[in-house]
Amino acid sequence: MKRIFLLLLPLFTFGQVKFPTAPQPTQFQNYETQNFGTPSNRGMNVQNVIPDPMQNYNQQQQIQNEKLIREAQQNEKQREQQMRDVYQDIRDLNSESDGVNYNLPSLENKKGTEYYRNVYDKMQTLNVENYSVKDLNFEIENAFLENTQDKLEFDKIIKNSGDYIIAKMKELKYDTESNVAKNYMLFLFFSENLNLKANGLKHTPFKYDFVDYMGQKDWSKMFVSKLLKTKTGQCHSMPLLYLILAEQIQAESFLSFSPSHSFIKFKDKNGKWYNIELTNGMFTASSFMINSGYIKAEAIQNHIYLQNLSKRELLSEFYVDLANGYVHKFGYDDFVEKMADKALELYPKNVNAQMVKANYCAVRFEFVAKQLGINPMDNQQLQTIKNNPNAIALLQEANAEGKKVEQLGFTVMPPEAYESWLGSLKEAKRKQENETLNLQFKGTIIKTLKN
């Protein structure tokens, strides 16, 4: 049996009780784009007289298709929410009659939860395509730390770091308007010792922190603020700091995921993509990540791995960060579901948000099962809930949400496998691949400067 836990932790589902399954959500098919022929000219150039009505048809049709799909997904989520509200009312009524609480106790009165709710409210007002990664990440970390962090000091560190990066670019005679050159300088800032000749200011690279790198004992290990203080971090904090600094110097780069991992992607002006592995300060090929053995075909098809996140999808991931911090500090209640639902509204295929949602449903069912005197891990005992429609509905929902995680293509990557994968980056073959990509990248910069 399996049960879902938080991001990067093991996954498993409850045993199945034999009862009728709930109807599956409506599936919406992609509309096929159609290619129409252009009218014959009949002795003159028609396009010089009137615009071709079919010009850019495929592009417009694709945009329309995507809009229809988003609307269908939104309608489906609204329908699901309406059904949950109905079931919630029924459970509330039944709670009064059978003495069983079918909802997790609210943690709203716990000291410190107000910081999370305040950040959530602020996030509702953000422009999903134009917000500050630096400011939002600070707010989320500061909620966990109960507003004890100095924002002015944080802003100063980021500004000084950005100024240092630009100054070093000028010293190396890199084009400070080139996105490629900016990203390469960011890569050097994370991976090498640097020195400014003008004032002698030195900078040391960031290192990987192998101690509690998943934040199981101390969630603040995941924070950018911790990375800045100690110069050590992991695959959560390092890419976030990279994005913050990229934002500071106006460079374009993207967050991307592989199993149990995140990294940075950016492209040159010729459309060639580069992957930056900050945990080891190396360039990596996508094939190396695929060959880890933990990326399923479904994950590739669903675009949950190796894709560059848009600003909207990145905001979805920030909701996941907010939810995970809340869970680590306080536990699960309906507010966790609220955050997960918002993340999925922004990015329906966010597997990390789906895991949070599945975890919430699993914990809620366990809470109900305990009140009924049932061990949820004992399939035989689970059969006794057949006469309790509320418990059945909760069990069905828990298993359905867990199934969604699997359907997206998520695969558990055990900690030992992840550590072995990180270690493999140091192998001679990987170093050679890194040097090859590095030289190609330097060649691109030199070409840019010459131009």
Query: What single-letter DSSP state applies at residue 249?
Result: T
Give Cα separations from 191 to 1, 41, 356 (angstroms): 42, 60, 33
Query: What is the spatial distance between Cα 168 and Cα 197, in angstroms, rounded to a whole number?
Result: 9
Residue carrying the six token digits 């536990």: 331
Closest by Cα among 288, 238, 261 to 424: 288
pLDDT tens for each residue of 51-84: 444 445 555 666 666 666 666 666 666 666 665 6
Closest by Cα among 62, 4, 6, 30 to 301: 30
β-bridge pairing 282-284 and 273-277: antiparallel
Query: What is the spatial distance between Cα 319 and Cα 340, in angstroms, rounded to a whole number?
Result: 7
pLDDT tens for each residue of 169-200: 999 999 999 999 999 999 999 999 999 999 99
pLDDT value at residue 420: 77
pLDDT tens for each residue of 288-329: 667 665 788 888 888 899 899 999 999 999 999 999 999 999
pLDDT tens for each residue of 224-273: 999 999 999 999 999 999 999 999 999 999 999 988 889 999 998 888 88
Query: What is the spatial distance between Cα 20 and Cα 16, in angstroms, rounded to a whole number?
Result: 11
Query: What is the spatial distance between Cα 443 and Cα 437, in angstroms, rounded to a whole number?
Result: 10
Give me the residues paired with residue 282 across strands: 277
pLDDT value at residue 301: 87
Mean pLDDT, residues 334-339 taken together: 98
Query: What single-letter DSSP state applies at residue 255?
Result: E
Closest by Cα among 370, 358, 365, 373 to 392: 365
Report the SS3 class of residue 196. Answer: coil
- Max Cα–Cα distance, the chain, nearest Å: 85
Q: CB neighbours of 448 closer than 8 A, spacing ≥ 6?
A: 175, 178, 180, 181, 269
Which residue ranges make up each domain of the chain? 130-309+417-450
Least confident of 76-80, 114-118, 123-127, 179-183: 76-80
Amino acid at 19: F
pLDDT value at residue 448: 64
pLDDT tens for each residue of 18-56: 433 333 332 222 222 233 232 333 333 333 333 444 445
DSSP 3-54: ---STTS----PPPP-SPPPPPPPP-PPPPP---PPPP-TTS-GGGTS--TT
